Chain A
Amino acid sequence: MILNQFLLLAALLFSLGVYGLLARRNAVMILLAIELMLAGVNINLIAFEAAIRTQLAVGQIFAVFVITVAAAEVGIGLAIVLMIFRNRRSANVDELNLMKW
Chain B
Amino acid sequence: MFRLVAQEAEHVVEAGSGGIWAQYAGIMLVLPFVAFILIILFGKRMKRQGAELAIAAMAINLAWATVLFFLNMTEGVLHTEQVEVARIGLFDGNPLVFELGWVVDGLSVMMYWIVAFVGLMVFIYAVGYMQGDVRVTFFFAALSLFAGSMLVLVGAPNFIQLIVGWEGVGLASYLLIGHYWEAKENSNAAMKAFYTNRLADVGLTLGTIIVGFTIGSFRFEDLSRASEEGMPALAAVAVIAGFLLFFGAMGKSAQFPLHIWLPDAMAGPTPVSALMHAATMVTAGIYLMARTFPLYQNLAQEARPWMIGIGAVTLFGMGLLALVVDDIKRVLAYSTVSQLGYMMTAVAAGGYTAGLFHLFTHAFFKALLFLGAGAVIHAVHSNNMSDMGGLRKYMPKTFTTFVIGALALAGILPFAGFWSKDEILVTLGDEGYRGVMWIAVAGAFVTAFYMTRVIALTFFGEYRGHGHPHEAPAIMTNPLVALAIPSVIAGIANIPGVTLGSLRNFSEWLGVREVVMGDHHAESMDLSTAAVGLGVALAGIVVGWLIFSRDAETQKARDRLEIPLLYPLLRAKYYLDHVALGLVATLKGPVAKVVNWTNQYVIDGIVNGAGAVAMLLSRFVYGGIDQRGIDGLVHGVTMVTDSAGGALRRLQTGRIQQYAAGVVTGLVLLVVGVGLFVVIN
Contacts and interface: CB of A to CB of B under 8 A. Distances in A.
Interface of A: 18, 21-22, 30, 93-94, 96-101
Interface string B654-666: 1111001100100
Contacts of A101: 649-650, 652-653
B660 A97 contact: no
Contact of B653 (A21, A22, A100): A100
Given A22-B664, A101-B649, A93 B657 contact: yes
Given A18-B664, A21-B660, A22-B660, A94 B655 contact: yes
Q: What 3 A-B pairs have minimum CB-CB distances, sorted nearest first?
A: A100-B654, A97-B654, A101-B649
Interface residues of B, number: 11
24 contacts: A18-B664, A21-B657, A21-B660, A22-B657, A22-B660, A22-B661, A22-B664, A30-B657, A93-B655, A94-B655, A96-B655, A97-B653, A97-B654, A97-B655, A98-B654, A99-B652, A99-B654, A100-B652, A100-B653, A100-B654, A100-B655, A101-B649, A101-B650, A101-B652
Interface of B: 649-650, 652-657, 660-661, 664
A96 B660 contact: no
Contacts of B649: 101
A93 B664 CA distance: 18
A41 B212 CA distance: 104
Contacts of A18: 664
Nearest to B667: A18
Given A96-B656, A97-B655, A101-B649, 13 more contacts: A18-B664, A21-B657, A21-B660, A22-B657, A22-B661, A22-B664, A30-B657, A93-B655, A97-B654, A100-B653, A100-B654, A101-B650, A101-B652
B649 to A, nearest CB: 4
Nearest to B668: A18
B5 to A, nearest CB: 123
A54 to B, nearest CB: 26
Contacts of A96: 654-656
A99 B657 CA distance: 13
A65 to B, nearest CB: 23
Contacts of B660: 21-22
Contacts of A93: 655-657
Contacts of A97: 653-655
B536 to A, nearest CB: 124
Nearest to B648: A101
A18 B663 CA distance: 11
Contacts of B664: 18, 22
Contacts of B656: 93, 96
Most buried by A among B653, B657, B660, B661: B657
A30 B650 CA distance: 24
Contacts of B650: 101
Contacts of A30: 657
Nearest to B650: A101
Contacts of A99: 652, 654
B425 to A, nearest CB: 118
Contacts of A100: 652-655
A41 to B, nearest CB: 15
A97 B654 CA distance: 4
Contacts of B652: 99-101
A21 B656 CA distance: 10
A96 B649 CA distance: 17
Nearest to A98: B654
A96 B654 CA distance: 7
B183 to A, nearest CB: 98
B650 to A, nearest CB: 6
B664 to A, nearest CB: 6
A3 B650 CA distance: 44
A100 B649 CA distance: 8
A26 to B, nearest CB: 11
Nearest to B658: A22
A11 to B, nearest CB: 12
A100 B652 CA distance: 5
A30 B655 CA distance: 13
A21 B655 CA distance: 12
Contacts of A94: 655
